[in-house]
Amino acid sequence: MLEIKLEKKELPFAMAEEIKNLRTGISFSGENLKTILFTSCTPNEGKSTIALETVRSFAELGKKALYIDCDLRKSIFNSRVVEGKPKYGLTHFLTGQCKLENIIYRNVDKEDDIHFDLIPAGPVSNSPTELVASDKFKDTLKKLRDEYDIIIIDTPPLASVGDAAIIGAMVDGSILVVEAGNADYRLVQKVRDKLATSGSRILGVVLNKVDKSNKSYGYYKRGYGYGYGYGYGYGYGHSEQ
């Protein structure tokens, strides 16, 4: 398998703990939950960061983990690669330009010996929605599901484009990343409904970029960078646990 190395951000202790909580939350959300989509309402809320850390976290447990970058519009995946150069990505494969094995890269970090696999988005596509809605993508996801213990799928923000809702119908569950402080409650509800209408089971919400000094966050005021709420019932109220 082709090898690359992703940059590794040292997470503050509390954040690393919350990623572990998220991993536990996913693991205890049901049996046979293998394909999990991450989305948000608007850009820049932290989907890719959390999705990648979650994949790493499952890999730390010895799980066979795969990250798929399904943001076929504006992927920043390549900017996170510090060694190796991915030649092909999902858009190449979905448009028939290469085989599946050509787009699966193994993240190898000799320092920590934690391995997981990655599928980069590839070059920006002119018809991203059609590509993720294709039978080819659906069948590939099914095939990969048999080969991995966990697959985390990173998508574009759902308030801007519908890709996440399309993929939402193909996966076992979804997680909504919400940037604390910046979230528009009504927009979050709208996006939640869009995701639910697609048939996706919403596993939880990650409240990201929490301002530790903001006391109104209840539970989160303890200063965790991430918060994870089970079920849905969105509202900062779910943090009062």
Return residues touching ligand ATP (CB under 6 A): 40, 43-49, 71, 76, 157, 208-209, 225
Give the nearest distance from C-beta 165 to Mg ion in angstroms. 17
211 vs 240 by CB, closer to ligand ATP: 211
49 vs 145 by CB, closer to ligand ATP: 49
The secondary structure of 129-179 as a DSSP string is HHHHTSHHHHHHHHHHHHH-SEEEEE---TTT-SHHHHHHTTSSEEEEEEE
Give 238's DSSP letter.
G
**Which residue's CB atom is positioned nearest to Mg ion?**
48
* Binding partner selected for residue 157 from ligand ATP, Mg ion, none, CB under the kind-specific 5 to 8 Å limit: ligand ATP
48 vs 200 by CB, closer to Mg ion: 48
> Which residues neighbour 139 within 8 Å (Cβ) at sequence distance 6 or greater?
none
Give the nearest distance from C-beta 154 to Mg ion in angstroms. 6
45 vs 117 by CB, closer to ligand ATP: 45
Give the nearest distance from C-beta 142 to ligand ATP in angstroms. 25
d(CA 226, CA 118) in angstroms, rounded, equals 23
* Binding partner selected for residue 192 from ligand ATP, Mg ion, none, CB under the kind-specific 5 to 8 Å limit: none
- Which residue(s) pair with 38 in the sheet? 154, 175
Give the nearest distance from C-beta 190 to ligand ATP in angstroms. 17
Q: Which of 102, 78, 70, 107 is nearest to 88 (CA)?
A: 102
Give the nearest distance from C-beta 100 to ligand ATP in angstroms. 24
List the structure tokens of 211.
């301002």
Q: Contact 176/191 with Cβ under 8 angstroms? A: yes
49 vs 54 by CB, closer to ligand ATP: 49
